[in-house]
Amino acid sequence: MSETTTATPAKSSKKMLWLVLGIALLLVLFFVFAWGLQKRESTQLQGAPAPSFTLTSFEGEEYTLEGLRGTPLVINFWASWCVECYKEAALLEQAYKDYQGKVLFLGIDYLDTEKDALAYMEKYGITYPSGPDIESRIARDYRITGVPETFFINTEGQIIHVQIGPIERPQLYQLLERLTGGGAS
Partner 1 sequence: MDGFMPAIGYTAQVLALILAVYAIVFAVMGARKNRQDLILSAKNASLGVTALLTVAVVAMEYLLITRHYQTEYVSQVTNSDATLFFRMAALWGSQKGSLLFFGWLMSIFTGAILLNKWGAVKTLIPYVMAVMNLVLVFFIGLVVTVANPFQQLSFFPVDGQGLNPLLYHWGMVIHPPILYIGFVAFIVPYSFAMAALITGQRGDLLMRTTRRWTLVAWLFLSAGLLLGGRWAYDVLGWGGYWGWDPVENAAFIPWLVATPFLHSVIIQENRGMMKRWNVGLIILTFALVVEGTFLTRSGVIGSVHTFSQSAIGPLFLGFIAIMFIASLVLFVNRWELLESEGELDSMFSRESAFLLNNLLFISIAFTVWWGTHFPIISEALTGTKIVVGPPFFKKAVGPLFAAVVLLMGVTPLMPWRKITSRKLLRQLIVPSIVAVVVAIALPLLTAIHFKGAIMTLAFIAFSAAVMLMEYWRGVSARRRAHGENLFTALVHLVRRNRRRYGGYLIHIGVLLAALGIVGMEFYQVETQQNVALGESFSISSPFTGTFEMTFRGLQQAPGKPGVENTEGLLDVSRNGEFVGTIKPYRELFLRQQQPMTIPDVYRAGMTELYVIIAGWEPDGQSATFKAYINPMINWLWFGGIVFAIGTLVAAWPSAQPARRTSRTRIKEKVAETP
Partner 2 sequence: MKKYVFPLMFIIVAAIFALQATPTVAQEPTEPTMDQVNTVAKNLNCPTCKGLNLEDCRTQTCNQWRDQIKDLLAQGYTEQEVLDWFVARFGVEVLQEPPPKGNGLFAWLLPLFGFAVGVGWLVFLLRKWSVHKTPESSAIDPEDNIDVEYLEKIEQDLKEF
Where do contacts with partner 2 occur on this chain (CB under 8 A)? 79-81, 111-113, 115-116, 132, 134-137
- Binding to partner 1 (CB under 8 A): which residues in 29-88? 30-37
Binding partner of 81, given partner 1, partner 2, none, CB within 5-8 angstroms per partner class: partner 2
Examine residue 184 and tell whether it contacts partner 1 (CB under 8 A).
Answer: no
| Residue 147: closest CA among 89, 104, 94 | 89
Binding partner of 22, given partner 2, partner 1, none, CB within 5-8 angstroms per partner class: partner 1
| Residue 107: closest CA among 69, 84, 75 | 75
Q: For partner 1, which is the closer residue by CB, 15 or 169?
A: 15
Q: For partner 2, which is the closer residue by CB, 1 or 184?
A: 1
99 CB-near residues (< 8 Å, 6+ apart): 176, 180
Q: How far is the CB of 184 from partner 1 (least distance, A)?
A: 32
Residue 129 · residue 93 · CB < 8 Å: no
Residue 95 · residue 107 · CB < 8 Å: no
Binding partner of 132, given partner 2, partner 1, none, CB within 5-8 angstroms per partner class: partner 2
Examine residue 24 and tell whether it contacts partner 1 (CB under 8 A).
Answer: no
* From 9, 10, 18, 101, residue interacting with partner 1 (rule: CB under 8 A): 18
Environment class of 165 (CB within 10 Å of its CB; exposed 0-12, middle 13-18, buried 19+): middle
Residue 152 · residue 169 · CB < 8 Å: no
Examine residue 2 and tell whether it contacts partner 1 (CB under 8 A).
Answer: yes
